[in-house]
Chains A and B, each alone.
Chain A
């Protein structure tokens, strides 16, 4: 690992944010947080994270919208987007992936597994699907 990876955690629920922040720091990531969609877009622009953990249900802008906005910008193509959602129907997963997310993970999930899944995302060297 040449450089510390940067993860932006976007969620309006402080409890899960606290847990995820702790875990990713312990796993060697640099971590920043955003509490809603609008803030997330600003932070991505300013900070250029490697991966964005994006909650779907958020005030101001939903995770889907943020995802779509991010994918509209070719310069942000290398940024991995992982959507986290309390809604997990087939249609929602389908929508998230169609809008350009690399992964769609439904809550509740195992935090350990989340970290290892994201690690694998980088190892595989996969870029997001056009």
Chain B
């Protein structure tokens, strides 16, 4: 046993003290006695020495023990206090150090408790504030998701490596595979963490990137544009903008996608129209000319000849008329599709015009009546400008001080009216204004009202009700079609679309070093197959593949693969009993050699996950030779992982594991349904594995292998 140095010193000091007291006592006795008695005293004391020595030793022992006890008791209590204080940090909020014991220690303890109170208050505040921030961030995310869903343009956001961090439903629709390729279910080529190069033409994207890199040094917001054909045949106008990180380094790219197929179609339609008009008119004109020139040159020709040429002229003139009418009709249609005109609601056009007139003239403008269902195809800027110009002229030349706006469906064309009461304006004034450059105050455009009307194929005129003193300037504007409504996606938290994941910024880089990456940070394709039977080597075939992606710990229910497959052989009754699919249903589905390459693309750059994966992998491997598609990526098996987590359980059926880890079982026995269930189970297994120290992919694979062997031994 080792004494602390302090205690040993104190004990020694106590002993010395006792000796000193005894010595001083004896000395005092000696001095107090009369000198004649001093020899007696020495004698008497000398006789009592053994007793005194004994007593002194006892006393010394007692004093030493007391000192030791006292000085050991205090440090011990202090140490206890320190321990309790330490656990204050870790323990629950209610826990406090004991305040009993010696008064100075008790005081110290209560000060510590006060500090603890203050600490917990601060901690609580922080928690509350971070919870509030979290809620706000969630709200912002939801608002953002809703906004993205509303956009009529497709949007893709990628990190600098071209991995998709965000996309909206419009982008999914624009980049969807053709109806033929996507038959029999949803295969979504777009997905979080996927490369944008798989979606758009590699060379075009690379070229756009080059241009952006080139601009980085000079331009504030580098951009590039290109037009790309996508697999579904649509023509997209793609705008690429860069966003920059620290030190003006390229941090990511924003792709905006517009479908311009129809615009380009209209352009070529107009060219075709001109061409067909030119060639269609040429022949009848030639015939007409030949016939009439003959008539003119040979007045002496025989009567039957003359009749013949006149008939030709009449017939050709009629044909010419028909051709012209057809062409003009087509032209009117083509005009409606002009590139500069946009579809908008009459309500919105009136609101724009109202604001512009009121601002420019400082006069009251009211919207009198407007049909909310009327859509126009207009250049809204030019029309609003034209209406403001007219109002300005009316105000200036006729002192009109208030205007009303109205819009109605009309017949064929929509009617938009600028209405006022009072001054009657002659129609010649309008003819004059039509040809003037439109000037409003100091703002002037070289365009005339007539130019604007012609561009819209529209007409305008003045209508006057003299009795009621109401005049209206009426514009006939082409009707538009209602813009395609993007279905509203509720922004509720639990149904939030998993269309974006900015965490990918941090996590995704190269596929190479997967082994040491944490399981929670990897991308997975969880899949399941249904088959004609249980023996792939005996010729059983896959009849259905379902898969879902997991990226950054989230299962992306929008990013699924679901495909029925024609096995080209009968299906056993037992397996039909399991999945409910019989041969007739599959007759029109694609065969495995067409499906596997697509599934392979879907799985690109991910770790595969399946329940009892060996079974499914065996089927895939047997197709390698025939399809040339090899699934070389790492595979995790939820059955084995479950055995790792629950070694004492025997039953590792998917349903049982699901129940054990708290996943509700629904929609089983379709490939996609089972893949979704497996995915959920897998996500629950990951933290359970982490509790056992299995964090990385390599560890999970090692543990799976070990369990597999141990299971074999049993």
Contacts and interface: CB of A to CB of B under 8 A. Distances in A.
Are A and B physically bound partners? yes
A95 B476 contact: yes
A108 B324 contact: yes
A108 B463 CA distance: 29
B320 A95 contact: no
Interface string B463-488: 11000000000101000000000000
B413 A91 contact: yes
Given A64-B461, A65-B431, A108-B321, A94 B411 contact: yes
A94 B476 contact: yes
B135 interface: no
A99 B535 CA distance: 84
A65 B427 contact: yes
Contact of A95 (B317, B328, B428, B459): B459
A62 interface: yes
B328 A62 contact: no
A65 B411 CA distance: 22
A117 interface: no
Nearest to A88: B328
Nearest to B413: A91
Contact of A108 (B320, B431, B462): B320
Contacts of B318: 110
A120 interface: no
A68 B457 contact: no
A91 B461 contact: no
Contacts of A92: 459
Nearest to B328: A88
A25 interface: no
A90 B413 contact: yes
A62 to B, nearest CB: 7
Given A65-B428, A108-B320, A94 B410 contact: yes
A91 B427 contact: no
B441 interface: no
Most buried by B among A90, A91, A99: A91
Interface string B356-375: 00000000000000000000
A99 B460 CA distance: 11
A98 B474 contact: yes
Contact of A68 (B321, B413, B427): B427
Nearest to B331: A89
A112 to B, nearest CB: 11
A109 B463 CA distance: 29
Contact of A89 (B457, B462, B464): B457
Contacts of A91: 412-413, 457-459, 476
A99 B461 contact: yes
Interface string A93-127: 01100110000000011100000000000000000
Contacts of A99: 461
Contacts, number: 47
Nearest to B318: A110
A5 to B, nearest CB: 27
Given A65-B428, A90-B412, A91-B457, A98 B324 contact: no
Contacts of A95: 459-461, 476
A19 B427 CA distance: 31
Interface string B130-143: 00000000000000
Given A89-B332, A89-B457, A108-B321, A94 B427 contact: no
A109 B320 CA distance: 11
Nearest to B478: A91
A92 B453 CA distance: 11
Contact of B463 (A61, A65, A69, A98): A98
Contact of A94 (B317, B332, B413): B413
Interface in A31-68: 61-62, 64-65, 68
A120 to B, nearest CB: 21
A95 B318 CA distance: 27
Contacts of B476: 91, 94-95
Interface in B461-518: 461-464, 474, 476
Contacts of A68: 427, 461-462
Nearest to B322: A108
Most buried by A among B317, B413, B464: B413
A113 B413 CA distance: 28
Nearest to B463: A98
Nearest to A90: B412
B461 A90 contact: no
Nearest to B320: A108
A86 to B, nearest CB: 10
A95 B428 CA distance: 16
A84 to B, nearest CB: 14
Interface string B146-181: 000000000000000000000000000000000000
Interface string A8-45: 00000000000000000000000000000000000000
A72 to B, nearest CB: 8
A90 B457 CA distance: 9
A94 B318 CA distance: 26
Most buried by A among B320, B332, B412, B461: B461
A62 B463 CA distance: 16
Contacts of B464: 72
Most buried by B among A64, A65, A88, A94: A94
B5 to A, nearest CB: 110
Nearest to A95: B459
A109 B324 CA distance: 11
Contacts of B459: 89, 91-92, 94-95
B431 A62 contact: yes
Most buried by B among A61, A68, A69, A99: A68
B419 to A, nearest CB: 15
A94 B428 CA distance: 19
Interface in B393-439: 410-413, 427-428, 431
A89 B324 CA distance: 13
Nearest to A97: B411
A90 B332 contact: yes
Nearest to B461: A95
A98 B411 CA distance: 12
B519 to A, nearest CB: 67
Contact of A98 (B320, B328, B461): B461
A56 to B, nearest CB: 11
26 contacts: A61-B428, A62-B431, A64-B427, A64-B461, A65-B428, A65-B431, A68-B461, A68-B462, A69-B427, A72-B464, A88-B328, A89-B459, A90-B332, A90-B413, A91-B413, A91-B458, A91-B459, A94-B410, A94-B412, A94-B459, A95-B459, A98-B461, A98-B463, A108-B317, A108-B320, A109-B321
Per CB-CB distance, the 8 closest pairs between chain A and chain B, nearest first, are A95-B459, A91-B459, A91-B476, A90-B412, A108-B321, A68-B427, A91-B458, A91-B413
Given A89-B459, A90-B413, 20 more contacts: A65-B431, A68-B461, A68-B462, A69-B427, A88-B328, A90-B332, A90-B412, A91-B459, A91-B476, A94-B410, A94-B411, A95-B460, A95-B461, A98-B463, A108-B317, A108-B320, A108-B321, A108-B324, A109-B321, A110-B318
Interface of A: 61-62, 64-65, 68-69, 72, 88-92, 94-95, 98-99, 108-110
Interface of B: 317-318, 320-321, 324, 328, 332, 410-413, 427-428, 431, 457-464, 474, 476
